[in-house]
Amino acid sequence: MARIDPTTTRECALTSLVTVLPLAADGGGFQPPTINDFFPPPILFSGTWFEFNRVELVRIVAALVIVSLFVVAARRAKLVPGRFQSAIEWVLDFVRTGIAEDVLGKENAKRYVPLLTTVFVAILGFNLTGIVPFLNIAGTSRIGLPLLLALWVYVMYLGAGIKKHGVGGFLKASLFPPGVPPFLYVLLTPVELLQVFVIRPATLALRLTANMIAGHLMLVLCFGATEYFLVEAAPAMKAFGVLTFLSGFVMTLFEVFVAALQAYIFAVLAAVYLSLSIADEH
The model's pLDDT over 256-280, given as tens digits with 9 standing for 90+, comes to 999 999 999 999 999 999 998 887 7
Of residues 258 and 169, more confidence is placed in: 258
The pLDDT value given to residue 40: 82
Report which residue type is found at 132.
V
Chain-centre distance of CA 67, in angstroms?
20
pTM value > 0.85: no
pLDDT of 112-167, one tens digit each? Answer: 999 999 999 999 999 999 999 888 889 999 888 999 999 999 999 899 888 888 88
Which has the higher per-residue pLDDT, 27 or 275?
Answer: 275
* 83 pLDDT more than 70: yes
189 or 61, which is more confident: 61
Q: How confident is the model at residue 22 (pLDDT cuts 50, 70, 90)?
A: very low
Residues 6 or more apart whose Cβ sits within 8 Å of residue 127:
138, 139, 140, 212, 258, 259, 260, 262, 263
Helix %, strand %, coil % for the chain, to 5?
75, 0, 20
Three-state DSSP class for residue 52: strand
How many CA atoms are closer than 13 Å to the CA of 21, on its beta-carbon side? 12
Residue 54 near residue 137, CB atoms below 8 Å: yes
DSSP letters for 69-90: HHHHHHHT--SS--HHHHHHHH
Confidence of residue 195 (pLDDT cuts 50, 70, 90): confident
- pLDDT over threshold 90, residue 37: no
Quickly state the pLDDT bin for 25 (edges 50, 70, 90).
very low
| 60-72: pLDDT as tens digits | 999 999 999 999 9
Q: What is the pLDDT of residue 19?
A: 35
- What band does 281 get if pLDDT is binned at 50, 70 and 90? low
